Amino acid sequence: MSASQHQPSEARTIGILGAGRVGAAVARQALKAGYDVRIATAKPADDLVLLAEIVTPGAVAVEAAEAARADIVVVAVPLHKYRTLQPELLAGRTVIDAMNYWAPIDGEIGDFENDPRSSSEIVQAYLSGSDIVKTLNHIGYHDLEEDDRAAGTADRRALAMAGGSDDAKARVAGFIERLGYDAIDAGPLEAGRAFQPGTEIFNGSHSAEQMRSILAAEREPSLA
C-alpha cells in the first residue's frame, strides 16, 4: 500500500453541535475558510433556521444526526450536557471536543470533579466509538474570529490538539490550519490537560515555537 493511501482525507464538511457563542464562532470561521457547515442543537432544525440565518449566515441548520455525518464534528455544548450527545450518531467520526470543565465559572460537576482523568478522556469514554481530538477550547470565541493569520505570518497564533488517533489529528490539523492557526500536536488525549482552564496555554496566546516549548516542559516530569 502506498504512503498516500495512509493519508486521511481532507475534511470538506463541518458539523457543529451547539449554537451558542463558541459553536457560532466556529461556524462563522469555518464558513470563512470555505467549508460546508452544518449546525444543530437538541431542538428540531426548523427551530434553528432563523437563528442560523442571522447568527451564522451560510451555515445550514440541520438535525443532529445530519451534523454528525460531517467529516469533522465540533462538539460545543455546555459540558454538563455532554451526556445528551448520542454516541451511536458519532461512532466512527472525528470529533473535536471544544468543551471545558471550569468549576469556578460553571460550578462543580460530579463526573469531572471526582475523576482523575482529563475532561476529554471522560468524554472519549462516553463517546467510545468516536475519535476525540481536544482543541479549540483554549481560544476565546471572539479571538477565534480576530486572531487568524495566513500561514507563515510572523505573529500567527498556535492552537494545541490532543487525541488518540493520528488520522483524526491529521484531519483536525488541516482544519485548524485553514481556520488561520498553526496546529501543534500535544500527543495523546491525556496530554490535553496541558491546555485545560487555568494552564499557561489556556490563559494566553502563543506562537508555534512557544507552544512547543510549553508542551515540552509539561512532559518533562514524566521523563524523570
DSSP string, 144-194: HTTS---TT-TT--EEEEEES-HHHHHHHHHHHHHHTSEEEEEESGGGGGG
Cell of 57: 449566515
pLDDT of residue 2: 37
At 222, the pLDDT band (50, 70, 90 cuts) reads low
Q: SS3 breakdown of the chain: % helix, strand, coil, rounded to 5?
A: 45, 15, 40
Residue 132 backbone phi and psi in degrees, to 5: -80, 135
- Which residues, listed in sequence order, are joined to residue 74 by a DSSP beta bridge? 16, 96
CA atoms within 13 A of residue 78's CA, in its CB half-sphere: 10
- Superfamily (CATH H level) for 3-223: NAD(P)-binding Rossmann-like Domain (3.40.50.720)
Q: DSSP characters for 48-104?
A: THHHHHHHSBTBEE--HHHHTTSSEEEE-S-GGGGGGS-HHHHTT-EEEE-----HH
pLDDT tens by residue, 66-113:
999 999 999 999 999 999 999 999 999 999 999 999 888 878 998 899
Beta bridge partners of 224: none
> What is the reported pLDDT for 221?
60
Least Cα distance to 14 among 22, 31, 25, 163 occurs for: 31
Across residues 113-136, what is the average pLDDT? 96
Q: What are the residue ranges spanned by the domains of the chain? A: 3-223
pLDDT of residue 223: 45
Query: Which pTM was predicted?
Result: 0.93
Tally the residues of the chain. 224
- The rounded percent of the chain whose pLDDT value lies above 90 is 86
Q: Comparing 3-17, 56-70, 117-131, 135-149, which segment has the lowest mean pLDDT?
A: 3-17
Structure confidence by residue, pLDDT tens digits, 5-58: 445 678 899 999 999 999 999 999 999 999 999 999 989 999 999 989 999 999
**What is the spatial distance between Cα 201 and Cα 210, in angstroms, rounded to a whole number?**
9
